[in-house]
């Protein structure tokens, strides 16, 4: 499976990039997918295809992709991204309670949305979620626009190193050469670390599934355990031979757990 840095393509386009989404399936039971900082709607395609016969699935394209004005005009806080999600859902005409599924930054956004709009969320699925403790991809080192540095960063995301392809390294390398965009990414990374939800998780009162890679180096397994201990009634599942992005690295197992969980939410 190709793990591209960002994608600006989608099946359904609204008028603005902030409202772009991909949709599979239809009906009253809605599942919304939120990608991470280094992700795209493409990372949810297989999961949505697996669920599309039973649910209306939407993957939102968050305004984090590479654009010239991101540093000056792009989002600056988690709250802004949550508001963007709400606008996109309005354009998609989602008016029934939904299940939010988020990976990494997308998990934090799912939590923040559930806290901000509790009556609109009937279930949560968190995979390698930010919001409690997250190791910097660069371990605090200043980003370097070299292929070797980029490869070392990507290697920390996956357990299966065959996913760290030359093509992927080249994609990220070209992106990191854009200094303005790199500064935007660092700004969003700081905003993510600043939004700690530890004291808020007790307020979540909705079915919650937590799916975590046993080999996650970005948000270690102990972080998944912290989420489980703080969200009442939540279920924690570990996937072995899996890093920070279970939906990409172990899609079949991730999809099975998700399919078993979703009926409990509606």
What pLDDT is stored for residue 142 in this prediction? 66
* Backbone phi and psi for residue 80, each to the nearest 5 degrees, phi listed first: -65, -40
Three-state SS letters, 182-249: HHHHHHHHHHHHHCCCCCCHHHCCCCEEEEEECCCCCCCHHHHHHHHHHCCCCEEEEECCCCCCHHHH
C-alpha Rg value of the chain to the nearest Å: 17
CA atoms within 13 A on the CB side of 95: 1
pTM for the whole structure: 0.90
Q: Is 93 strand, coil or helix?
A: coil
**Domains by residue range for the chain, with CATH:** 17-264 (3.40.50.1820)
Could you tell me if 40 and 61 are in contact, meaning their C-beta atoms sit under 8 angstroms apart? yes
Question: Residue 76 — very low, low, confident or very high, per pLDDT cuts 50/70/90?
Answer: confident
Chain mean pLDDT for the chain = 88
Read off the pLDDT of each residue in 110-136 and give the average, rounded to a whole number: 95
Q: 21-24 and 56-60: which strand pairing?
A: antiparallel
pLDDT of 67 over the 70 cut: yes
Could you tell me if 110 and 42 are in contact, meaning their C-beta atoms sit under 8 angstroms apart? no
Render pLDDT for 134-172 as a digit per residue (tens, 0 to 9).
877 655 556 677 899 999 999 999 999 999 999 999 988
User: What is the rounded end-to-end Cα distance, in angstroms, of the chain?
Assistant: 31
Render pLDDT for 132-144 as a digit per residue (tens, 0 to 9).
998 776 555 566 7
CA distance 131 to 107: 8
CA 210, 214, 220: angle at the middle one, nearest 5?
80
pLDDT of 66 over the 60 cut: yes
* Backbone phi and psi for residue 79, each to the nearest 5 degrees, phi listed first: -60, -40
Render pLDDT for 27-44 as a digit per residue (tens, 0 to 9).
999 999 999 998 899 999
Render pLDDT for 93-104 as a digit per residue (tens, 0 to 9).
998 899 999 999
CA 127 to chain centre: 8
Give the contacts of 96 (CB within 8 A, at least 6 positions apart): 28, 30
CA distance 157 to 116: 29
Both tokens of residue 59?
A: 């993957």
Could you tell me if 145 and 168 are in contact, meaning their C-beta atoms sit under 8 angstroms apart? no
pLDDT of 230 over the 80 cut: yes
- Alpha-carbon distances, residue 123 vs 113, 119, 236 (angstroms): 11, 11, 14
Residue 238 bridge partners (DSSP)? 212
Both tokens of residue 241?
A: 């031979």
What pLDDT is stored for residue 13 in this prediction? 34
Read off the pLDDT of each residue in 46-51 and give the average, rounded to a whole number: 97
């Amino acid at each position: 499976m190709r793990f591209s840095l960002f994608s600006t393509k989608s099946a359904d386009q609204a008028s603005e990039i902030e409202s772009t989404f991909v949709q599979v399936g239809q009906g009253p039971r809605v599942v919304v997918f939120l990608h991470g900082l280094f992700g795209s709607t493409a990372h949810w395609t297989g999961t949505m295809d697996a669920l599309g016969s039973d649910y209306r699935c939407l993957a939102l394209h968050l305004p984090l992709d590479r654009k010239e004005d991101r540093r000056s005009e792009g989002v600056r806080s988690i709250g802004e991204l949550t508001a963007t999600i709400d606008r996109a859902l309005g354009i998609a005409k989602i008016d029934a309670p939904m299940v939010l599924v988020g990976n990494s930054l997308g998990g934090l956004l799912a939590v923040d949305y559930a806290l901000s709009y509790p009556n609109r969320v009937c279930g949560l699925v968190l995979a390698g979620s930010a919001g409690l403790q997250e190791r910097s991809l660069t371990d605090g080192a200043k980003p370097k626009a070299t292929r070797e540095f980029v490869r070392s960063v990507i290697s920390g995301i996956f357990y299966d190193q065959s996913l760290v392809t030359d093509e992927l390294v080249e994609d990220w390398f070209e992106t990191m050469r854009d200094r303005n965009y790199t500064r935007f990414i660092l700004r969003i990374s700081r905003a993510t670390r600043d939004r700690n939800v530890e004291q808020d998780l007790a307020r979540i009162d909705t079915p919650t599934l937590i799916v975590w890679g046993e080999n996650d180096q970005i948000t270690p397994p102990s972080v998944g355990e912290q989420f489980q201990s703080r969200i009442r009634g939540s279920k924690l599942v570990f996937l072995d031979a899996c890093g920070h992005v279970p939906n990409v690295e172990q899609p079949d197992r991730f999809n099975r757990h998700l399919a078993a969980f979703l009926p409990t939410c509606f």
